[in-house]
Amino acid sequence: MTAPPTEKPSADGEWTVGKIIEWTTAHLKKHGSDTPRLEAEILLAFTRKCPRIQLYVQYNERLTDPQRAQMRELVKRRAQAEPVAYLVGHREFFGLDFQVTRDVLVPRPETETLVLELIAAAKPHPQARILDLCTGSGCIGIAAAVNLPAASVTASDISPAALAIARKNAESHQVESRVRLLEGDLFGPLGESDQFDVIASNPPYVADGEMATLPPDVRLHEPHLALQAGPQGLDVIRRVIAGACGHLAPGGMLLIEFSPEQAPAVSQLIEDAGLFDAPRLIKDSAGLVRVIAARRRTSV
Ligand SMILES: C[S@@+](CC[C@H](N)C(=O)[O-])C[C@H]1O[C@@H](n2cnc3c(N)ncnc32)[C@H](O)[C@@H]1O
């Protein structure tokens, strides 16, 4: 890793916003980033404490020395595969800003597909009762609460550190009065009589043997508790399906995110449970099968 040079980038210029963006983009590209320009802009906007869009009107402005030092450090860490979201402490998801730390998975665009399905499934219920299992940053349940003003959301996670972040996110989106946060193993912290109209989950689903093959930003920096789930990656999904039967109201919807190659196995688990109508498989915006929607039968 080479840091940005301390000399002027060219005879005619200083380290301006525009030149830093260009240099950082090229540097991050060289280090394997798929979205180097976007990342360069996010890091620079964070450094200059301004919205990203404002960088365009600051294009010819020079960075101060402290800004250059901070930017140099951020770029160095990003080039060593640290996720941008952890470097700047937040991530946009479903049009909302979520605080993130190393205690939570960085919310992914593909999970927005799950949220769209969750909102559609909850809409017919005037005061929908929603369960977000494995909530992490809270992004799924909180996005639902923001978009469904009469809904009540229960969000659970086994990690107290993750729940602390989810709590901050619920507060910053002013939905904390409608988002109940529970700590524990899957359905464990729920009351026996707790029933939901929609249960949604993005659980850990990476197979043990795949952990070593994950990209370095995921493998080295994101919590393995949020990722790893047994030999086929199905250990948690299997328990979500089994436990959902006890907490899903008749006619209620179960929505689970998974890895595309797991679709046949997850469909089979739903069928084997014997309590659901034929499930629907939903593709994400990249065209990959990503979510299963299974409605609990009204009569069994
Ligand atoms: C893939 S992350 C999803 C986080 C968030 N819902 C999202 O979509 O970005 C899975 C989450 O499940 C939690 N988790 C793992 N095992 C669990 C268990 N047995 N019971 C409850 N939560 C669990 C992890 O702490 C992690 O926050």
Q: Computed over its alpha carbons, how large is the radius of gyration of the chain?
A: 22
Quote the pLDDT of residue 14.
Answer: 84
The CA–CA distances, whole Å, from 204 to 28, 35, 133, 142, 211 equal 29, 25, 11, 19, 12
Sign of CA dihedral 104, 109, 114, 115: positive
Quote the pLDDT of residue 298.
Answer: 87
Question: 55 CA distance to ligand 1 centroid (A)?
Answer: 36
State the Cα–Cα distance between residues 210 and 232, nearest whole angstrom: 9
Question: 253 CA distance to ligand 1 centroid (A)?
Answer: 19
pLDDT value at 29 more than 80: yes
Q: What is the mean pLDDT of residues 50-65?
A: 95
pLDDT value at 197 more than 50: yes
pLDDT value at 300 more than 70: no
Q: What is the mean pLDDT of residues 76-103?
A: 97
134 CB within 6 A, ligand 1:
yes
What are the E-state strand segments in 85-210?
A: 90-93, 96-99, 129-133, 152-157, 179-183, 196-201
141 CB within 6 A, ligand 1:
no
In contact, 133 and 256? CB cutoff 8 Å = no
Protein residue whose Cα sits closest to atom 26 of ligand 1: 226
pLDDT tens per residue across span 132-187 = 999 999 999 999 999 999 999 999 999 999 999 999 999 999 999 999 999 999 99
Residue type, 43: L
Quote the pLDDT of residue 13.
Answer: 57
pLDDT value at 221 more than 60: yes
- State the helix-helix crossing angle for 65-79 and 36-48, rounded to 10 degrees: 140
Q: Please choose from 134, 183, 247 the residue to mutate so as to test ligand 1's pocket, defined by most ligand atoms within 8 A of CB.
A: 134
pLDDT value at 1 more than 60: no
In contact, 134 and 201? CB cutoff 8 Å = yes
pLDDT value at 30 more than 70: yes
Quote the pLDDT of residue 67.
Answer: 96
pLDDT value at 11 more than 50: no
CB neighbours of residue 70 within 10 Å: 17
Average pLDDT in the chain: 94
Protein residue whose Cα sits closest to atom 18 of ligand 1: 185
pLDDT value at 5 more than 60: no
Percent of the chain with pLDDT over 70: 95
pLDDT tens per residue across span 230-281 = 999 999 999 999 999 999 999 999 999 999 999 999 999 999 999 999 999 9
State the Cα–Cα distance between residues 240 and 41, nearest whole angstrom: 39
Question: 159 CA distance to ligand 1 centroid (A)?
Answer: 8
Question: 32 CA distance to ligand 1 centroid (A)?
Answer: 28
Question: 225 CA distance to ligand 1 centroid (A)?
Answer: 7
